[in-house]
Amino acid sequence: MQPRTALLIVDVQHDFLPGGALGVAHGDEVIAPLVAVAPTADVVVASRDGHPPDHCSFAAQGGSWPPHCVEGTHGAELHEAIAELEPDHVVVKATTPAVDAYSAFDGTGLADWLRAEGVERVAVGGLATDYCVRASALDALAAGFEVVVLEDACRGVEVHQGDSARALAELRGAGAHVERSTALVDG
């Protein structure tokens, strides 16, 4: 019997897609595999950044990034194909000006929600491999879930060449399975 599985779609928002304020190269390529996997999951969860305009991650406040995913803007909205999946649960993170949060589990109550749904395995994909996907997968492992990172359903920021490959290696080392999305669709 397969473990009850949640698909966690991380931050597939307009500002992280090509042309967005903090667009990830080829970020739109994660959408098709995530949409293909969604029907195989017992529950679908989406996370999104919902920053206030003065968020600490923004360069004007001393952070590393340009303003992005400001709550109430088009850039903060989930891509239409993800929204059309009608996720069972959506978590909004990094909503406090002075607190950054890369993980979908950080301050959102997601682990408790997943446990209440009987979830044992979390399949993770989205944006970006080397930041929010990495942090979310590590927190899912720490919370006791089996974790599958959907390698073809992730793209990275790549501030430094190889950041995404290093993130995937770190996740493997921490106990995550790194697989193509077809492993869930076909299996």
Task: List the catalytic residue out of 11, 15, 106, 130.
Answer: 11
> Which of 106, 130, 132, 139 does the annotation list as catalytic?
132
Among the options 28, 93, 130, 154, which is catalytic? 93
Which token pair is 64? 């590393």
What letter does residue 23 receive in the DSSP assignment? P
Angle at 107 between CA 93 and CA 77, to 5 degrees: 15
Q: Please, what is the Cα angle at 51 between 107 and 124, to 5 degrees? A: 55
**Helix, coil or strand: residue 175:** coil
Cis peptide before 183 (omega within 30 of 0): no
Q: Which alpha helices (H) appear in 9-150, and where do they start and end?
A: 31-37, 80-83, 110-116, 134-142
**Annotated catalytic, 56?**
no
The catalytic site residues sit at 11, 93, 132
